[in-house]
Structure 1
Amino acid sequence: MIKLFLAAALLGTSTLAAAHEVWIERDGSATARIYLGEPAEPVPAGGDPEFTKLKAPRLVPSSRAAMVRRNDHIEVAAVAGDVRAWDDNVFAPWGPATKREAVVYYARAGRIEPKAVLPFEIVPVATDADRFTVIRDGRPLADTEVTFVTPARETRKLRTDARGVVVVPTSGSGRYLLSAAAKDEGERQHGGMTVHTLHYITTTSYHAG
């Protein structure tokens, strides 16, 4: 963790944003917990140093449920089933004016619904399946890297096949998490600024056992 933030201080926000993810956890209760940080690392007792930048993630579908801020996560009451959220305002656009970058985060907890709701989502092929499809804008993404984090926080790099499907080695109880990234090149508006590269990071977490 310390090495990461030293590197980020030297290399700029791009390194920091790329290293961080937004993810959701729910282990059977009605309350969902939304985190910002590094899911392969233990969550620091006081929360990730950048956690304060996660201000108001938006649930999908939208909800008026109150969000309660804790030391290391945001709690929100969610309906039964899978929980989804997104946030495009965690890190302000960074970089020089001619090469500015920004990031949008998507997150899902659960593997009940075999369908995509978010624009970029990792979706189980069936309820409780160990096979997932990476879907962006309604289309499966072939040959795409997926990072898989086990309950022991071991990290493995996997790749989707020609149909955008990846098989994950679920074994044992605990929290599992998958993440994938994509980006769009070209000038566009984001956060009231012109950006030239827009990154997208999506996560899906689930509990087994």
Structure 2
Amino acid sequence: MKAKYLAPLALAILAPSVQAHEVWIERDGSGPARIYLGEPEEVLPPEGDPEFDHLKAPKLVPASKAPMTRKAGYLEVAVPAGDVRAQDDSVFDPWGEDGKKEAVAYYARAGRADARAVMPFEIAPASAGADRFVVVRDGKPVAGAEVTVISPDKWKKSLKTDAQGVVAVPLRGKGRYLLTASQKDEGAFETSVGKVAVLHRIATTSFLVD
């Protein structure tokens, strides 16, 4: 294969791989937060997702100087009590042609004690401890957003938010649930990995049912 065809082929492979991956946070009680990169509907390999090395230093929200320790498949960080949030737009390098480059920004949250949404794109509980969640973009609810629910036993279901941006999550027993939503924005965006014309925003929220 000629060298000039290698880059487009690599980009064709990279794009779906990047968009299939998500960043999510898990926390048990008041213990440390564990920040993952991977495909949450799949069983995580013992050593972590093959792309895990791309997750370097997600930014906690609010900002924190607490050190992150790299474990087998996740980053571990001590955080104060309560919900945990982190965002990162530098996990993967931009892909695509010049002038049409695309990138991905991740917004992850663990917990449902706080009904506020403070990141640019976030899935927040409608009220503290609720099983109803709101998809929020820049402080405004997003109607018609697709939200995927992944249950503790890896059962998966896609739902749509209502006119108020709200979706009711079906609970199937005890354990950890993960919600995910995405948006694709086209225009001109400044990211920490450079200027891009398309920005894929992916939000996750995990919570425990005891």
TM-score, normalising length: structure 2: 0.92
Report SS of the residue matched to 1:78. Answer: coil
2:122 is paired with a residue of what secondary structure? strand
1:30 to partner: Cα distance = 2.1
Shift of 1:9: 6.1
Aligned counterpart, 1:33: 34
Cα deviations by residue, 1:44-80 (Å, 9 ceiling, x for unpaired)? 1111000000000110111111111001000000110
Deviation readout 1:68-100 (Å, 9 max, x if unpaired): 100100000011000000011000000111321
Counterpart of 1:143 in structure 2 is 144
**Closer, same or farther in 2 for the Cα pair 1:13/1:71, shift >3 Å?**
same
Structure 1 residue 10: Cα displacement: 8.1
- Aligned-partner Cα distance in 2 for 1:50–1:109: 21
Q: Give the structure 1 partner of residue 164 of structure 2.
A: 163
Equivalent in the alignment of 2:24? 23
Listed one character per residue, the Cα deviations across residues 16-43 of structure 1 (whole Å, up to 9, x for unaligned) are 1110000000011420000000111111
Unaligned runs of 5+ in 2: 1-8
Taking only the aligned residue pairs, the percentage that are identical comes to 56
Question: C-alpha distance in 1, partners of 2:201/2:124?
Answer: 16
Q: TM-score, normalised by structure 1?
A: 0.93
The 5 Å alignment of 1:190-205 reads: 190-191=191-192, 193-205=194-206
Once superposed, what is the RMSD of the aligned Cα atoms? Answer: 1.4
Give 1:73-92 correspondences, 5 Å limit.
Answer: 73-92=74-93
Q: What is the alpha-carbon distance in structure 2 between the residues aligned to residue 125 and residue 194 of structure 1?
A: 34
In structure 2, how many angstroms separate the alpha carbons of the residues matched to 1:189 and 1:122? 23
- In structure 1, the gaps of 5 or more residues are 1-7
Return the offset for 1:194.
Answer: 3.0
State the Cα distance separating 1:12 from its structure 2 match: 2.3
Alignment of 1:116-195 (within 5 A): 116-191=117-192, 193-195=194-196
Letter in 2 for 1:196: A
For the 8 Å contact 2:93–2:193, the answer to whether it is kept is no
Which secondary structure state, in structure 1, belongs to the residue aligned with residue 162 of structure 2? coil
Q: CA deviation at 1:154?
A: 1.1
Report the residue type matching 2:87 in the other structure: W
What SS class does the counterpart of residue 12 from structure 1 fall into?
helix
1:110-142 per-residue CA deviation (whole Å, 9 max, x = no partner) reads 000011011111010111111000000000000
Conserved 8 A contact 1:93-1:191 = no
Instruction: Assess, with a 3 A threshold, how the Cα gap between structure 1 residues 42 and 14 changes in structure 2: closer, same or farther.
Output: same
CA distance in structure 2 between the partners assigned to 1:194 and 1:137 by the alignment: 20
